[in-house]
Structures are given as structure tokens and as C-alpha cells.
Amino acid sequence: MTNLTNPTPGQLTDVHDMVVVHRAFRRELALAPRLVREVAPGDVARAAVIAKHIRLALTGLHLHHTGEDLLLWPKLLDRAAPSADLIHRMEEQHHRVEDVVERLPDALDRWEAEARQATGAELAATIEELREALVEHLDDEELHILPLAARHLTPTEWAALGQHGTSEMDKADLPILFGMVLEDATPQERVMMLGSLPIPVQLLLRTVGAWQYRRYVRRVRGA
């Protein structure tokens, strides 16, 4: 009989897909401050493009953390008994990230409305603050949390994390958010990330979705 609560002893669940997702957050939050600072004062049309992109990246981050809160932490707390110090540190990091994220909507709105240099500088600095907090958290998560998940969650339970994010996405955003994740993926990682999706969705993302993402990146990055 299949064990539905723990992986087979000695058998690890493949959790590398989260590393691929983290890579996208690292890249987009590194690029965003430069994109904001490059917008000419008063160019509200360009500011709207960049602001929309940043909001989409933040939506992806929200879905990622919500999935962890619902589907990862409760199981690890029940089965893996992480140390109190680790839990405390991860909670502090989450609070720090959330505190910065909560300041971004107002900063984005103010900058998008007028594209003033001062508000752009404030927005870029806030995004850099978010990236610093988030990268610290992602590093710790990859070093300490993913090994626990690999030992204590079944492949089906782990897959539910990705399925949660996909199900909660606005379907119009699906090609762009997946494009962000796949942009720096190796061929093997692309196969892994797409393999969990229904065949028609895979075909869509490999064809029309890939074209939509290339066009989107040119518009956002101006390249």
C-alpha cells in the first residue's frame, strides 16, 4: 500500500522546482529598480508598463508564499519538527518581506500617476529593500527547508504546491508568469516544470505562450 503521509524511507521527493521559481524572483527583483530609474520624468506611459510588470511579479510572490503557508509549513511542523530557532528565523524573514511588500502598492500608484524622479527613486529603493529581505529568506529556505520537504513530503503533496499557484493565477497571466519562471531554466528544468501541467497547457506554453512572453519581455525591458 502506498504511504500517503510520508515518502518511502530513504526515497527523497524532488523539490528542485522551487529553486527554479526562486531564480525568477531573484532576477525580476534585481532588474526592477533599474527599469524604474530608467523611466524619463513624466513618461507615465512607460511607467505604467513597468508598474504593471512589478505588480505581476508581486502577484507571483504572493501566490508562492500563500501556497507555502497552506501546504508546506503545516506538514513540516507536524512531521519534521524543525528547530525553534529555524522557525523563528523563517517567521521573522516572512514578516520583514511582508512589511516591505505592503508599502509597494502605494509607492507604485504614486510613481505611475506622475512618473516623478523622486517617487521613482523611492520606489526603486523599496524594491531593493524587498530583494534584500527576500533573497535572505530564499537562501535559508533552499538550505534548510527544502531538504526537510524532500524527506517529509510525498511527490503528490509537493506537486500540490505548484498546482495551488497555477489554479489561483489569472489565466491571462499564466503565459507570462510561467515565462518568467522558465526564462533561465535549463532544458531539463523546462521539461520538469512543464511536465506537471496538462498536455494542452504544455503545448500552449511552448508555442503561443512562449511567443507572448518574448513580446512581453521586449516591451518591459526595451530590448
Residue 7 lies in a domain: no
Look up residue 85 and give its amino acid. Answer: D
pLDDT given at position 89: 85
What is the pLDDT tens value at each position of the chain, 223 positions in all? Answer: 333 445 555 689 999 999 999 999 999 999 999 999 999 999 999 999 999 999 999 999 999 988 988 898 888 888 888 787 887 888 888 889 999 999 999 999 999 999 999 999 999 999 999 999 999 999 999 999 999 999 999 999 999 998 888 888 888 899 999 999 999 999 999 999 998 888 999 999 999 999 999 999 999 998 6
Residue 39 lies in a domain: yes
Residue 150 lies in a domain: yes
Counted domains in the chain: 1
The domain that contains 135 carries what CATH number? 1.20.120
- Whole-angstrom distance, CA of residue 195 vs CA of residue 188: 10
Taking only Cα atoms into account, the Rg of the chain, rounded to an integer number of angstroms, comes to 19
Q: How far apart are the first and last CA of the chain?
A: 54
Structural domain of 207: 16-221
Residue 133 lies in a domain: yes
Residue 6 lies in a domain: no
pTM, to two decimals: 0.90
Contacts of 135 (CB under 8 A, 6+ apart): 26, 29
Task: Render 96-115 in DSSP notation, one character per residue.
Answer: HHHHHHHHHHHHHHHHHHH-
pLDDT given at position 8: 55
Distance of CA 19 to the CA centre of its chain: 10
List alpha helices for the chain, DSSP H: 16-37, 44-67, 73-79, 84-114, 117-140, 146-152, 155-168, 174-182, 187-195, 199-206, 208-221
pLDDT given at position 223: 62
pLDDT given at position 25: 97
- Whole-angstrom distance, CA of residue 33 vs CA of residue 112: 14
Residue 135 lies in a domain: yes
Residue 8 lies in a domain: no
pLDDT given at position 171: 87
pLDDT given at position 197: 87
Using CB atoms within 10 Å of the CB of residue 127, give its burial: 0 to 12 exposed, 13 to 18 middle, 19+ buried. Answer: buried
Residue 48 lies in a domain: yes
